[in-house]
Copies of this chain bind each other. A is one copy, B any other.
Amino acid sequence: MRDSCLKTKRYSLSKRNSDRAGLREVAAAAGVSMMTVSRAIRGIEGVSDKKRAEILRVAKRLNYSPNLNARSLVAEASDLVGISLPTLYNDVFAGMLAGMRNTITNAGFATVLDTTNYDLDVELDWVQRVLSWRPAAMVLTGVHHHPELRDTLRQAEIPTLEIWDVTADPIDLCVGLDHRNAGLVAGNYARKLGYKRPAFVGAPRGIDLRAEKRVEGLRTAFDTHLPAERVDDPNSYAAGAEGVRRLLDRDPRPDVLFFLNDHLAFGGMMAAQAAGLDVPGDIGIVGFNALDLTTALPVALTTIQTPRRQIGVTGARNLLARIKGLSPDRTVQLPVELLQGATTRLQ
């Protein structure tokens, strides 16, 4: 063994662990420089068609796959899009996600997903974490976040989309609906039918902020006290039933029940019927979201149709525009529609 200069060589050789082919290996095999390979792979100008074809062939043979970590390091940006949703136990968020995914994926981005379970601290932690990846963009649910979140994101200068709810002053972009108005629409509809004693079944106060806005709309429509039962799991059918059982004990008994969502409404309707009540004869039921489920029911549920897929599609499109440096509308508010079913009727 001679001295340290040999040692250096050996070191650098053994350092390349794994037999994974990199730009270097492809370049060597194709008899060109790394740069030429890089250009060929990325489909960039400046390589003769002949060489490009040859290089791509070699790359394929060597099973070359670019190291995105290295690329992102140089670019100071990855092609990850972080998406934060409250839950996936719910076709609602799955619907918006599906709407976004195609658009985002087709544009060459990958999605990193997390669920916060409606916890704003969890959301903040997750955002900070994703920022370490230098993501191309972020998607958050709702417009209410941890106090630090807004500054964190703006400082990082990451295009950000807030979905489902809207505000005049989003972090960056938002696409969603006016939940207070949605509550108002449902409330006005029921009031006009002649219902007098509304009640609400939903999640504990302070969990689902959008739902609280809808409740506010309901209150405005009825201009009256609105008894509310809060159940633990807003995505459970059984919880809706439980809420209704508790409400039916009240005096006076409500004549129309509004639910946080269709899940609860369905469970609630079952409970009302099980309690011997006729729907809509004895009591009205109004859901929210117009899930596929409700169309399969023997008695169609009166509910509010929310444009979930459309929110996803529009949101993703605007976000991509933002990434490209354009300036799409900062706030897009999509309309809701009341679907008149057979669970409510003129009083």
Contact = CB atoms under 8 A, between A and B. Distances in A.
A296 B323 contact: no
Given A67-B73, A68-B132, A327-B3, A296 B238 contact: yes
Contacts of A70: 69, 73
A53 interface: no
Contacts of A74: 13
Contacts of A340: none
12 contacts: A1-B157, A6-B324, A10-B77, A18-B76, A20-B156, A63-B155, A66-B132, A88-B88, A88-B94, A110-B130, A112-B113, A267-B296
A98 interface: yes
A121 B74 CA distance: 31
Nearest to A324: B6
A95 B157 CA distance: 35
Interface in A249-286: 266-267, 270, 273-274
A290 to B, nearest CB: 13
A77 B5 CA distance: 13
Nearest to A3: B327
Interface centre among A157, A241, A270, A298 (most CB of B within 10 A): A157
Q: Which 6 A-B pairs have the closest CB atoms?
A: A237-B296, A69-B72, A68-B132, A113-B113, A88-B94, A267-B296
A244 to B, nearest CB: 11
Interface in A67-100: 67-70, 72-78, 80, 88-89, 91, 94-95, 97-98
B112 A237 contact: no
A148 B274 CA distance: 54
